[in-house]
Structures are given as C-alpha cells and as structure tokens.
Amino acid sequence: MENVIATSSNEFRKNFKKYTDDVVDYQDAVIVTRPKNRNVVVISEDEYNSLKETAYLLKDKENREFLRESMNQLKGGDVKVLTPDDWENLKKGE
C-alpha cells in the first residue's frame, strides 16, 4: 500500500469514484471513518488477494520457517542464479 488516506463516510460517498480509482490506480488504502469508531478500510482486490495469500503462506509454522531460512540464504548471498537451460534440466531430472 502506497498511501493511507482517511476520510469521513459522507466525503467518501460524495467522491466514491475518485477514492476507488486512487485505490486501484495508486495502491492507496482509504480508511472510511464512521461513528463510534466503526471504521472500514477500502483496498483494491489485488491488494486484498495479496494479503490473503501472505496470511495463508504464513499461517503454517513449517512454511514460515522455510520462508525465513530462504530469506536468510538470500541475505547471506547463499543463492544460485539459474539460466533457462538450468530450469529445463531440473524439470527433466538431470
């Protein structure tokens, strides 16, 4: 999310198209403030799907540890760059 914008529900209704276009075009998030602090957040479908995928990947302890180890390998330079031919050979089991 690039920017987080807060606006009232009345202002959001008046400028619905502008706010929703900004959400999609600029990856903004809009916090729509409501009475009694019953606020809502508007994000794009792509952003929502990304958040759901991240939550899914991180919910399993084993997967979190695998991802953490992969990130540590990347930070430590313990990586190998594969060419397209390398990928093809891996797929063939060579």
pTM of the model: 0.70
CATH superfamily, with its number, for domain 4-43: YefM-like domain (3.40.1620.10)
Q: Where are the domains of the chain?
A: 4-43, 44-79
Beta-ladder partners of 5? 30
Q: Which pLDDT score is estimated for 94?
A: 63
Is the alpha carbon torsion for 47, 49, 51, 54 positive or negative?
negative
- Determine contact, residues 32/9, Cβ cutoff 8 Å: yes
- Please identify which residue in the block is written with the tokens 């540590």: 72
Q: Distance of CA 14 to CAs 3, 52, 71, 86, Å?
A: 20, 30, 45, 55
- Please identify which residue in the block is written with the tokens 């606006």: 7
Tens-digit pLDDT string for the chain (94 aa): 779 999 999 999 999 999 999 999 999 999 999 999 999 999 999 999 999 999 999 999 999 999 999 999 999 998 888 999 999 998 888 6
Which is it for strands 4-8 and 29-33: parallel, antiparallel or unpaired?
A: parallel
